[in-house]
Structure 1
């Protein structure tokens, strides 16, 4: 019996299933084809990637299989390079990728700043490598590529893609997808879309999110009062699944610090620069959908009486959180002694992960 993450029991060898590794030492993952460079003495551990260049990391022209693990490291791990490199994964010969995301965002580093962390699906043991353990099944072949979309060459790209071939996938086995999004300045009262509406049957795995709060406008005031909302199976104006706040959704409380657990965490929380990167993965608490799904997050802050006075002195106009278009009334003495939520505009970026019953979701 397969386990929840698509593997096999440790004590069984499935019939007809073989193991393959794709790496610079054997990019085709060919049988008896590994380590042939330099007479077998480590001749091709990595490759350079010029601006505009695209490299195939792994490919299987036909037949079934499952991606089991992806590991990589780069000679340049700057935020600029992590955003310039793009990963694209294709299943079953499709021309449209099921995964298309910046390298860093895909591996859970939404803010571009590396940090040591470990979760159930992704990890970076010492902040210098990038690991993914999400199983990615396919039925009629696959292709995985990396493209340098920046204007700077990368000297060394190292990687391993570990997969099995010959897996027998039943009708209920789904395809892995990822959606990347970025909004440098979110619109007031328009929730940021973690995952735009996707039609089909599947499972939402979760997301990693990076927030760069507008410190110039909002100082160091907490930005995460907004709720995460999951609209499933025909939900329109109102979601079936609704959280109570950003830090609540990722399993902590009362704003956000640094931690990393199996299914939830915050890889960095820089309160001085007001930059944050966090994740939530729905592994023990599955989110299934049978018709469609859409996932959003509100951009909402809260102001204490002291912070409210600071905004008043700065002449900041703040839109109150609520159904009506009301603004902070700085002359109301009763309000001046209360906490109050307000709408914000900040820089949000995210990579959402999900399974779907078809190899492309566009």
Structure 2
């Protein structure tokens, strides 16, 4: 039975009353104040959609949420234009960061689109349990994000121009306390372009502390012919060195598919939502795997890698591709500081 202070997060919890207090932050109520929403005026009058969105100034960091107290973020919804006249890469040019309990370094640092499984600065529909992206570009996250004293969410605009029409809603619960053993949400983005032949791509490493790994998003630009997805994922748990505790059997296998996919799909925990081919670029692919029913637990450390191995119809071969990723996990704090995020142009897709 969940504690009475914890909000309902599952269908089975819905009949159970809670001491949680629901609040929500948006452009219409930027501080999430009780009775503080919808006070701005439009041409229709006060309280008639007076301030539904904001503009993100170029080269500035905008605070989306500053919450004091104990609580848990339960839903984030964001939509915005995916391009301006200055370029098509808005979803990679904006950087989402989250900070818990006054920490100086973020626990989440990911280009906005990639956080919502829309890598390559390209929209696609996603129909999974923790992440859903609906037409046209409505991005939703349901990962619970607890905090004990404060939460801060920011968005940095590294696009060459102001980005108008940024809509957002962050819904959370204020709580008397968190259940004992509650860990903090983390997400980290990486890219290697191109990967090195024969060297596994690192999704995340240097995770120190106790926690569990809950998901992977991969955005891959394939740079050579033939099938690209024979690489095995590896989880090095609690000091594993040469060999991992968990080793997969293939990239499409890890995403719950088989035999080179053949078509796109998006399910609650597993997906291959993007296969994009064009005359002026390399083939682009994206896949996700949520470890919600099967979290990868660690007591002191974790490293996650994936191989770049292809198959030419006769045999396996080592290959080099453009790979970027998001790792999602929960752990105790403090966490190790993330590697420095690549500059905006180094994040742009091929």
TM-score above 0.5: yes
Matching residue of 1:66: 72
Query: Where do residues 165-176 of structure 1 align in structure 2 (5 Å cutoff)?
Result: 165-176=174-185
Deviation at 1:57, TM superposition (A): 0.8
Say which SS state the counterpart of residue 17 (structure 2) adopts.
coil
Change (3 A) 1:6 1:32: closer
Counterparts in 2 of 1:187 and 1:351: CA distance versus 1, 3 Å? same
Which consecutive residues of structure 1, in runs of 5 or more, have no partner in the other structure? Answer: 305-338
Which residue number corresponds to residue 331 of structure 1? Answer: none
Of 227, 250, 253, the residue aligned with 1:222 is 227
Secondary structure of 1:93's counterpart equals coil
Contact 1:92/1:359, CA 8 A, preserved across alignment: no
Q: Is 2:26 the counterpart of 1:23? A: yes
Asked if the contact 1:205–1:287 (Cα under 8 Å) also holds between the matched residues in 2, the reply is: yes
Match of 1:248 in 2: 253
What is the aligned partner in structure 2 of residue 346 from structure 1? Answer: 321
Q: Which runs of 5+ in 2 are unaligned?
A: 338-350
1:250·1:264 contact (CA, 8 Å) conserved in 2? yes
Conserved in 2, the CA contact under 8 Å of 1:77 and 1:114? no
Q: Which runs of 4+ in 1 moved over 6 A?
A: 3-6
In structure 2, the partner of 1:139 is: 148
Q: 1:318 aligns to what?
A: none
CA RMSD of aligned residues (A): 1.8
Q: 1:341: Cα distance to partner?
A: 1.0
Residue 11 of structure 1 corresponds to 15
**Structure-to-structure mapping, 1:1-362, within 5 angstroms:** 1-2=1-2, 7=9, 9-15=13-19, 17-38=20-41, 39-61=46-68, 63-76=69-82, 80-214=89-223, 218-219=224-225, 221-256=226-261, 257-270=263-276, 273-304=282-313, 339-358=314-333, 360-362=335-337
- Greater Cα radius of gyration, structure 1 or 2: 1
Distance 1:150 1:291 in 2: 38
* CA distance in structure 2 between the partners assigned to 1:167 and 1:91 by the alignment: 17
More helix by share: 1
Higher mean displacement: 268-277 or 5-14: 5-14
CA deviations over 1:220-264 (Å, ceiling 9, x no partner): x11111100011111111000000000011111111230001100
Which deviates more, 112-121 or 291-300?
112-121
CA contact (8 A) 1:110 1:351 kept: no
Q: 1:261 to 1:345 in 2, by over 3 A?
A: same
TM-score, length basis structure 1: 0.85
Q: What residue in structure 2 maps to residue 320 of structure 1? A: none
Aligned mates of 2:176, 2:285 — CA distance in 1:
39
Contact 1:117 1:126 in 2 (8 A): no
Please report how far the alpha carbon of residue 167 of structure 1 lies from its aligned counterpart in structure 2 after TM superposition.
Answer: 4.7
Checking the alignment, whether the CA contact within 8 Å between 2:92 and 2:119 is kept in structure 1 is no
